Amino acid sequence: MGLKIFLNDKLVDKKDAVVSVFDHGLLYGDGVFEGIRSYGGLVFKLREHLDRLFESAHTLTLEIPMSKNALEKAVIQTLQANRLNDAYIRLVVTRGTGDLGLDPRKCLRATLFIIADKILLYPKEYYEKGLVLATVPTVRNHPEALNPQLKTLNYLNNILAKIEATNAGVNEAILLNAQGYVTECTGENIFYVKGREITTPPPYVGILKGITREVVMRLSKENGFSVREEVFTRHDLYTADEVFLTGTAAEIVPVVKIDNRVIGAGIPGKSTLMLMKKFRKLTPKEGVRYRAVGRQ
């Protein structure tokens, strides 16, 4: 049995899961998405992901053709149809099919699809040895141009940064904003640890308000750290005890080198390792449970 995709209002075979070349998601990147994970038959923070999806769509005046409750059911239906207990879920809503002009009013109905598949985990060595990062020339989108808080289908800002990181021979990019403050990586938020303080940039510098970021801020407080959301520069990262990234795909991943400066002892730090352990305990607990299905 092949992969089943939820398209608009029903499950279809992968080969039938196609959208029009006139879809404005494709023609203009006009749409929104979420990347979600399930762990042992529980969709981690599904409600928070749906809230963010609806908020991004609201600002784009994009009407999602389904209620939040119906969408929650559709996600679970897709997981069950594919017999997945641990999965990566991609939820996409586009403006829909229109004409060759960019006017969204020409698109009568949004296109919605849900892909659920086995997760492609980051290599184990990223967690054991830590990542090497570099700041890249591409500046993060200005919040008054395309606010990074909107999780839209227009990811070229991030893709350009990723290309630059690859060209520089490092694992991941750090994007600064137009003022030179640290924002985030291409698909992860950034944190640094100094003593008993953990700092991450505030949303107004121009970042996606990551759901993992929120969880990690809470976990840090619960474990005796003071957590600050403050603007900072690369210097603060270079001189930190520890640096780590957070995201749905990455979870928590240590960083050991930035722009050729060794961070702390040059190995994953003890606070990062502690948070990674606590986070992994939490993932099969906080979210929406569904009936786990057979073996995978």
Binding site for ligand PXG (CB under 6 A): 35, 158, 184, 187-189, 208, 210-213, 246-249
Determine how many CB atoms are found less than 10 A away from the CB of residue 228: 14
Minimum distance, C-beta of residue 210 to ligand PXG, in the bound complex (Å)? 3
Catalytic pick among 15, 45, 106, 151: 151
Instruction: Give bridge partners of residue 236 from the DSSP assignment.
Output: none
CA distance 94 to 198: 37
**CA 211 – CA 189 distance, rounded (Å):** 10
Residue closer to ligand PXG (CB basis): 23 or 251: 251
Q: Respond yes or no: is residue 162 known to be catalytic.
A: no
- Spatial contact of 13 and 2, defined as CB atoms under 8 Å apart: yes
Cβ 239 to ligand PXG shortest distance, Å: 24
- CA angle (26 as vertex; 23, 28 as ends), nearest 5: 100
Q: Position 256: which residue type?
A: V
Q: How far is the CB of 68 from ligand PXG (least distance, A)?
A: 17
**CB of residue 105 vs ligand PXG: minimum separation in angstroms?**
28
Residue with tokens 């928590």: 252
- Written as six digits, the tokens of 168 are 């520089």
Residues involved in catalysis = 151
